[in-house]
A and B are shown apart, each in its own frame.
Chain A
Amino acid sequence: MATLEIRDLHVSVDAENGPREILKGVDLTVKQGETHAIMGPNGSGKSTLAYSLAGHPKYTVTGGSVLLDGEDVLEMSVDERAKAGVFLAMQYPVEVPGVSVSNFLRTAATAVRGEAPKLRLWVKEVKEAMAALQMDPAFAERNVNEGFSGGEKKRHEILQLELLKPKIAILDETDSGLDVDALRIVSEGINRVRSTGEVGTLLVTHYTRILRYIQPDYVHVFAGGRIVESGGAELADKLENEGYEAYVKGGASE
């Protein structure tokens, strides 16, 4: 069973006056089939955690370890992490002009699976996944994220999640900028992937809204660069009622 183990993770970014530490010792274990919600106020470092796990070059790991089934994730390049089974659905997916969605998806699937998917089966697979996310087939011919609405970008991220079948899915603020209908469609997509039991999900979010659609097994409160409280789904209800105020007092949040 795939397991992601994050131990005492410290991460810095380069700021004007030298490196600034954002993650200050994160400990978390995510197992295949589990869903963990990481909740926290803006600036608490929860997106930094997401991007650091995927290997974004902006972040420097200064301490700690991240293991996926015992393999050292921090030693891997960005694409090696994806091939090992780490997937990051981004809050702000990037436009890639001139690269069609269909070309992009097939290139990614070929890279992650280690061989080009058989064309006929692939076309069917993409078509079905797109239909499930209520995406127009014409979407495949558009350039990646170019001119996409907020909802289209997020559906496109979840489409990739469904096609690339990672072991660990990190969903960074996937709910932000979505109207109720888009949120429902995107959540159903995530739930389809979760229901396979094959993926461990790390759901990074500011709001509890998406948790009405996606039931987490664990909720972690993130503040000041680390996890400050962990609990079950009921912790989300507490946050819904009381907000993050209790956790950010004294400037713990940056």
Chain B
Amino acid sequence: MAEQNTTGSTTAGSIEVGTAGAGAQLAGPGTGRTTVHQPIDARVAVKPSFDVNDFPVPTGREEDWRFTPLHRLGGLHDGTAAAGERGEDKVGFTLPDGVTAETVGRDDARLGKAGTPVDRVAAQAFSGFEQALVVTVPKDAVLTEPVRIDVRGEGGVRFAHVVIDVKPFAEAVVVLNHEGTGTRAANVELLVGDGAKLTFVSVQDWDRDAVHAAQHSALVGRDASYKSVVVTFGGDLVRLHPRVSYAGPGGEAELFGLYFADAGQHLEHRLVIDHDTPHCRSNVAYKGALQGQDAHAVWVGDVLIRAAAVGTDTYELNRNLVLTDGARVDSIPNLEIETGEIVGAGHASATGRFDDEQLFYLQARGIPADEARRLVVRGFFAELLQQIGVAEVQDQLMEKIDAELEAAV
């Protein structure tokens, strides 16, 4: 077994080897597809479903809800949001030549192909949206500038559904930027065609009082590359569910994330990578900083390597920098392996405070303490941003981080 548990892990991780999590094959709604591969979390009892009524209302005792303050979800989990006042979003598009963005009805055949809602909130979003957005990057198109979808929430409750369909051998960067406020639940489907390359950047730059839950379901085609970049700064409660499964061998997924939780914010990222196909790779790196009373970050990284997924190579990492007292991190990497015929599988999680030696080193060069702290935090995130590979996006995110640090540290 090629698994490893990297040193420096300060939180509990678990590696389970066995037959847990037998795959279920589900059909999408009216998609014409006979089956959709669905990851099943061994720890989660409820099967994925498009219908909100298939999920009981969570109580907070369930494994996948135990960290989430349900009373701050704005009723997304118990039907009260669905019955509440609808809100509007202002949405702006930047569409490079050849890229289309369509608003379609619920019966559009392209919906529901990449994944099925795995919890009641995602199913509520699917059951509740009125029109979906389908963005298509045509076959062989190599975009030289990013597709941008700028969403500004204007209060109220809104359910959304977005499909990003990158056809075979196309290459695209898609940025989904969230600002403003409201109570929002969404499903984002990412179809990465055979041989295609997609970098999907989701920025949560919400106002302080926003509530946002979303499931990002990616289906990575044969020899395709998918890069997910999740950046969460704003909101009162943000709970994101980036998920990856593979439609053919040779697929590659990189999931990068960074978050900055201030006093009272709850920022939760739950990742699932379902290796159900041979010779695919995945690499996860999430980094967060926290400061202030009751700043709370939750990171759960589930990687499942099924018996069929020989030749899998996977690694996941979570690092947290706790800047003040009163903040809390829950970090849980989890690896389930059903075959030993893999290239590698590992995980690491560490949560720490400022490294006093780093600060001393910088101060000993004349750099004042507050500036030294900013440099260290900036560096902590920059190390991750350097891996995004899209200069324009990197610069924009670095500016946001600088603004956050200017206001905070």
Contacts and interface: CB of A to CB of B under 8 A. Distances in A.
Interface of A: 54-57, 77-79, 81-83, 87-88, 90, 93-99, 103-104, 107-108, 111-112, 143, 160, 164
B354 to A, nearest CB: 12
B357 A79 contact: no
Given A79-B367, A97-B380, A99-B382, A90 B361 contact: yes
Contacts of A90: 361, 364
Contacts of A160: 365
24 contacts: A54-B360, A54-B364, A55-B364, A78-B363, A79-B368, A82-B363, A90-B361, A93-B361, A94-B357, A96-B362, A96-B375, A97-B379, A97-B380, A97-B383, A99-B379, A104-B365, A107-B375, A108-B362, A108-B365, A111-B366, A112-B365, A143-B383, A164-B365, A164-B366
Nearest to B363: A78
Nearest to B368: A79
B356 A111 contact: no
3 nearest CB pairs, A to B:
A98-B379, A111-B366, A98-B383
A223 B216 CA distance: 64
Interface in B343-359: 355-358
Given A107-B371, A143-B379, A96 B365 contact: no
A57 B364 contact: no
B381 interface: yes
Nearest to B379: A98
Contact of B366 (A56, A79, A96, A97): A79
A107 B361 CA distance: 13
A77 B362 CA distance: 12
A140 B361 CA distance: 18
B367 A108 contact: yes
B380 A94 contact: no
B237 to A, nearest CB: 28
B57 interface: no
Contact of B360 (A57, A95, A108): A57
B13 to A, nearest CB: 22
A82 B366 contact: yes
A93 B357 CA distance: 9
A77 B357 CA distance: 15
B369 interface: yes
A13 to B, nearest CB: 14
Chain B contact-residue range equals 20 to 34
Interface of B: 355-358, 360-369, 371-372, 375-376, 378-384, 386
A88 B361 CA distance: 9
A103 B383 CA distance: 14
Contacts of A77: 363, 369
Given A83-B366, A112-B365, A160-B365, A78 B360 contact: yes
Nearest to B382: A98
Contacts of B375: 96, 99, 103-104, 107
Contact of A98 (B357, B366, B368, B380): B380
Contacts of A112: 365-366
Contact of A79 (B363, B381, B383, B386): B363
A96 B366 CA distance: 16
Contacts of B378: 98-99
Contacts of B366: 79, 82-83, 108, 111-112, 164
B383 to A, nearest CB: 4
Contact of A57 (B356, B358, B367, B379): B356
Contacts of B371: 107, 111
Given A57-B356, A79-B369, A94-B357, A88 B379 contact: no
A32 to B, nearest CB: 19
B214 to A, nearest CB: 28
A81 B366 CA distance: 7
B267 to A, nearest CB: 21
The residue among A79, A83, A90, A107 with the most chain B CB atoms within 10 A of its own CB is: A79
A83 B379 CA distance: 23
Contacts of A95: 358
Contacts of B379: 96-99, 143
A78 B373 CA distance: 14
A88 to B, nearest CB: 6
B74 to A, nearest CB: 35
B369 to A, nearest CB: 7
A88 B365 CA distance: 8
Contacts of A164: 365-366
A82 B360 contact: no
A160 B383 CA distance: 23
Nearest to A84: B366
B69 to A, nearest CB: 32
A114 B386 CA distance: 30
B380 A88 contact: no
Contacts of B355: 94
Contacts of B360: 54, 56-57, 78, 94
Given A94-B355, A94-B358, A160-B365, 7 more contacts: A78-B364, A97-B383, A98-B379, A98-B381, A99-B376, A108-B366, A111-B366
Contacts of B369: 77-79
The CB with the most chain B CB atoms within 10 A, among A54, A78, A93, is that of A78
B367 A111 contact: yes
A111 B368 contact: yes
A96 B381 CA distance: 12
A15 B381 CA distance: 35
A83 B357 CA distance: 19
Contacts of B376: 96, 99
Contact of B364 (A82, A97, A103): A82
Contacts of B364: 54-55, 78-79, 81-82, 87-88, 90
Contacts of A97: 379-380, 383
A143 B371 CA distance: 17
B288 to A, nearest CB: 14
Contacts of B363: 55, 77-79, 82
Count chain A CB atoms within 10 A of each CB in B355, B360, B382 and give the residue with the most: B360
